[in-house]
Amino acid sequence: MYKDMFEEEMDKESVFRDASKLMPDYVPQVLVHRDEEFRQLTRLFKSVLENKSSQRVLVTGSVGVGKTVLTRKFGAELERAASARKLNLTYLHINCRKDKTLYAVIAKILQHFNPKWPYHGLGPEKLLNDVITYLDAHDSYLTLVLDELDFFVQQNGPNLIYSLTRTSEESGGPNRVSVIAIARDKSFLRSLDLATQSTFMHNVLLLDRYSVTQLRDILSKRAGEAFKAGAVEDDTIELIADIASRWGDARFALELLWRAGMTADGEGKDTVTPEHARKAKADVYPEIKKEVLKDLQQHEKLALLAVARKLVISKQAYALTGEVEKTYRVVCEEYREEPRKHTQFWGYLQRINALGIVDIKPSGPGQRGQSLKVSVQEAPAAWLEREMEQLLGERK
């Protein structure tokens, strides 16, 4: 049975060309909207390549702004540039939330240079000394990225940073270890001694949250790599960008796009639609609470049902408010309610928008007499339609 099930799934067509291009650990060839930050890192590390000095940089920003992918891309280019200059330089990226002890971090550095090194039973100080000895013996340099360092310092204290920034003091040789620290903000530096703080404070690179336009560009670029040509509607990209723009989070946006693609595959569709994006959003963050819907006034429920129905029928990401008002009047007739005037209807939309159930935005150029459009971002429109019909009952 399972063999047949497996073969059946393998034979199905997919909207994906390569779904791995949407995964968090994928480093794209081009970093969309992070060129300036890449240039800043290059300028800061110019002395490492030209003078064989060490460097300390702190990269900060909220979740999903590209801190990890930026440093991974920079590390790969730094290694390439060093090799072209006959400089033996290694880039190593460590996630301090996974390797969450001082011993684990330093042991991982040691393992990178010699996986067979007999390091068991040795303390972290001895392991770090062995790393420095190896670098000196091979005239090598290390650029170490410590991802989520703020979490590590909170759990373990400042000893790791203190030791790494003073690796040359005992050996008496050049400082061969450069450090790029990644954290959500620089507040964790206050737990370090003043001398260690000063090694980072002069080189802080803050990554701002992505705007909706930037998220749309990122999604479009990745969709071209991950999906078959024409498999993702432009409306789907726009809707996902709008959803994720509340947090400026590209990682969340890419996860939604991946989930939307998986939903389309599960339904046997050859196109990823806005409705697939809404289902993906409901799977990740189902934020529309049924008790909130239940507490809506009667005509607020009717207006919300009109929004959901219009989106289901049109299969579009957005509907013009004027079109929704026409649907509202039909819904009122269906439920034997007297439709309210335009100003009252607009008040209902504003109320459910304030509750975060719908999203209202300018419709853009080319729409005469229609200045706004409305969408549902937190759940599939079809699901919302069913919920509202149930709450309104069968009174027609």
Residues 80 and 181 in one domain: yes
The CATH number linked to 313 is: 1.10.10.10
Residues 96 and 180 in one domain: yes
At 282 the pLDDT is 78
Read off the pLDDT of residues 92-132 as tens digits, 9 standing for 90 and up: 999 987 887 898 899 899 889 888 776 667 788 888 888 99
The crossing angle, in degrees rounded to 10, of helices 321-334 and 298-314 is 120
Q: Is 290 exposed, middle or buried (0-12, 13-18, 19+ CB in 10 A)?
A: exposed
pTM over 0.95: no
Residue 24 lies in a domain: no
Number of domains the chain contains = 3
- The values of phi and psi at residue 372, to 5°, are -135, 155
Task: Pull the structure tokens for residue 258.
Answer: 């991946």
Residue 366 lies in a domain: yes
At 46 the pLDDT is 96
Residues 194 and 261 in one domain: no
Residues 122 and 198 in one domain: yes
At 291 the pLDDT is 73
Write out residues in the chain with pLDDT < 70, as ranges: 1-11, 118-120, 168-173, 283, 285-287, 364-370, 394-396
Residues 195 and 344 in one domain: no
Residue 6 lies in a domain: no
* Domain around 93: 34-206
At 367 the pLDDT is 55
Q: Calculate the CA 22 to chain-centre distance.
A: 10
Residues 195 and 52 in one domain: yes
The last residue of one of the domains, among 189, 206, 223, is: 206
At 157 the pLDDT is 85
At 171 the pLDDT is 58
At 32 the pLDDT is 96
Residues 53 and 175 in one domain: yes
SS3 track for 298-325: HHHHHHHHHHHHHHHHHCCCCEEHHHHH
List strands edge to edge, sheet with 372-375: 319-320, 372-375, 359-362
Query: DSSP string of 70-89?
Result: HHHHHHHHHHHHHHHTT--E
How many CB atoms sit inside 10 A of residue 80's CB? 11
Residues 343 and 234 in one domain: no
Residues 57 and 180 in one domain: yes
The last residue of one of the domains, among 236, 259, 281, is: 281
CB 16 within 8 A of CB 259: no
